[in-house]
Amino acid sequence: MDVENFRTEEELKEAITRLKKEKKAVILAHYYQQGPIQDIADHIGDSLALARYAATLDDARIVVLCGVHFMGETAKLLCPDKKVLVPDADAGCSLADSCPVEDFKKFIEAHPGHTVISYVNTSVGVKALTDILVTSGNALKIVNSLPEDEKIIFGPDRNLGNYINSITGRNMLLWDGACHVHEKFSVEKIIELKKQHPGAKVLVHPECKRPVVLLADKVGSTAALLEYTKASDATQFIVATESGILHQMRKDCPEKTFIPAPPDDAATCGCNDCSYMKLNTLEKLYRCLRDETPEITVDPALAEAALRPIERMLQFK
Ligand code: 13P
Ligand code: SF4
C-alpha cells in the first residue's frame, strides 16, 4: 500500500508497526529526529547510545536507523550481517563532510607519532584512519584515560576539540571542521533570552562555538543534557542544540519550560534545525520498511579498519 492510502498519522504508524513485526526490524532514532519518529522508535538515544544498541541487536533481521548516514554506517559496521536501512539516503552531515578522507590522511602523515581520535560524525574512510572513536557522550572520558603526555590528533570537530583542550589542559592538534547547525547559535540572542528568563539554565552541546559554551550551565551530549533537565530543580531551560531534543525534554518533564536557543540568522522561527536530520519523515520510514531500501553498505576493504576504533570506544564503560 502507498502512503496516500493512509487517512491519518495513526494509520501510518500502525502500518509501520505491522511491517516492523513482520520483517523482524528494529527502529533506532536519534534525538534530533521529528517527534513522531522518536515516538514510534524502539530505542531513541544520542549517537553513543545508538551505537551501543546496534551492537546488541541479536534477534533483528533489519535495523532502521532514523538519523543521518554516518549513524547508519556505524550500525552496519557493528552488525554486518543485518540489513541496515535509512529512511533518506541524502541525510548526510556537514561535520562529516568537513573532513575529506584524503586531506585527513595528509594531516595525519604531516604529524607522525600522534594518536588519532575522531568523533563518530565521520565517514567510514576517516574512521579507518582513526585509533579511537569518540562521541560527545564519552570524548572527555576517553581523552582523559590517555597518558597526559600522549600526542593526540583530534578530528573533525574543532569546537568539541577546543572544549576538551580547555577542560583537560591538553594541546590536542585539531582538525578544522564544524557542524553548520551548532556553529550558528547566537551569543547575543542567548544573553537576551537569559534576561527575559533569569532563572533559566543554559544547556549547550560541545559542538557549539566557545563563546556559546562559556554561557552554559551544562555542556554535554544530547543524552547528558536530557538527564540534566530531569535532575535539575530549575523549571526553565534555554537549549543550544538541534531543536529535535526538545521533544523528549518536554515529554519527560511536561511541567518545565524549554526554550530553543536561536541561530544568528533566525528571522521569525526561533529554532535551529539540522536540515539533514529533518529529511526523515514517517512516510519515508514506512516506504523504507516496505521496500527495504535505501540500504547502507560499507566498503569491505575499509570495514575491518573502521570497526576497530569503534570497538575500542565501546570498551569504555
Ligand atoms: P550526540 O548524539 O552525540 O549528542 O551528537 C549530536 C550530533 O550532532 C549528532 O549528529
Ligand atoms: Fe551533522 Fe550537525 Fe546535523 Fe549533527 S546536527 S547530523 S553534526 S550537521
pLDDT tens-digit readout, 277-289: 999 999 999 999 9
Compute CA 95 distance to the chain's CA centroid, rounded to the nearest angstrom: 11
Nearest CA to ligand 2 atom 3: 274
**122 CB within 6 A, ligand 1:** no
Residue 314 contacts residue 51 (beta carbons within 8 Å):
yes
Task: Indicate the residue type of 199.
Answer: G
81-97 residue pLDDT tens: 999 999 999 999 999 99
Cell of 254: 511536561
Nearest CA to ligand 2 atom 4: 93
pLDDT of residue 169: 96
Helix 222-231 and helix 245-252: axis angle, to 10°?
20
Q: Which ligand 1 atom sits closest to the C-alpha of 181? A: 8
160-185 residue pLDDT tens: 999 999 999 999 999 999 999 999 99
Q: Per 3-state DSSP, what percentage of the chain is helix, strand, and coil (rounded to 5)?
A: 45, 15, 40
As a whole number of angstroms, the distance between CA 140 and CA 275 comes to 28
pLDDT of residue 269: 59
Residue 229 contacts residue 252 (beta carbons within 8 Å):
yes
pTM metric for this prediction: 0.95
pLDDT of residue 104: 98
pLDDT more than 70, % of the chain: 98
pLDDT of residue 266: 59
pLDDT more than 90, % of the chain: 92
pLDDT of residue 6: 87
* Residue written as grid cell 574512521: 127
What mean pLDDT comes out for the span 10-37?
A: 97
